[in-house]
Amino acid sequence: MHSAHSTVHSFRTPGGVTLGVEHFGDATAPLVLLAGGTTMLSWPDALCATLARGGRHVVRYDLRDSGTSTTVDPEAPAYTLRDLAADAAALAHGLDDRPAHLAGIGIGGMVAQVAALDHPDAFSALTLAGTRPVAPGPVDDDLPDHDAATMGRRFALPAPDWSDRTAVAEYAAAGAEILGDDPAAARARAERVFDRTPSTAPSVRMANQLGLVFAKLDCTPRWRERLPELAIPTLVLHGRHDRFFPVGNGEALAREIPGARLLVLEHAATAIPDTAADEVAAAMLAV
Domain locations along the chain: 6-146+212-285
Count CB atoms within 10 A of the CB of residue 198. 10
The helix/strand count (H/E) of the chain reads as: 10, 8
Residue 102 CB coordination number (10 Å): 30
Residues facing residue 9 across a β-bridge: 21
pLDDT exceeds cutoff 60 at 250: yes
**Which of 66, 143, 162 has its CA nearest to residue 107?**
66
d(CA 61, CA 233) in angstroms, rounded, equals 22
Count of beta carbons in the 10 Å neighbourhood of residue 72: 13
CA distance 136 to 15: 26
Residue 224 CA: distances (Å) to CA of 35, 141, 174, 230: 19, 13, 33, 11
Within 10 angstroms of residue 152's Cβ, the number of other Cβ atoms is: 11
> Residues 41-60: what's their mean pLDDT?
97
pLDDT at 200 (0 to 100): 64
For 142-176, the pLDDT digits (tens) are 999 999 999 999 989 999 998 899 999 999 999 99
**pTM of structure:** 0.95
| Topology of the domain comprising 6-146+212-285 | Rossmann fold (3.40.50)
With bands split at pLDDT 50, 70 and 90, how would you rate the model's confidence at 25? very high
210 in Cβ contact with 243 (< 8 Å):
no
**How far, rounded to the nearest angstrom, does the alpha carbon of residue 27 sit from its chain's CA centroid?**
22
Mean per-residue pLDDT for 37-61?
96
**Helix (H), strand (E) at residue 265:** strand 261-265
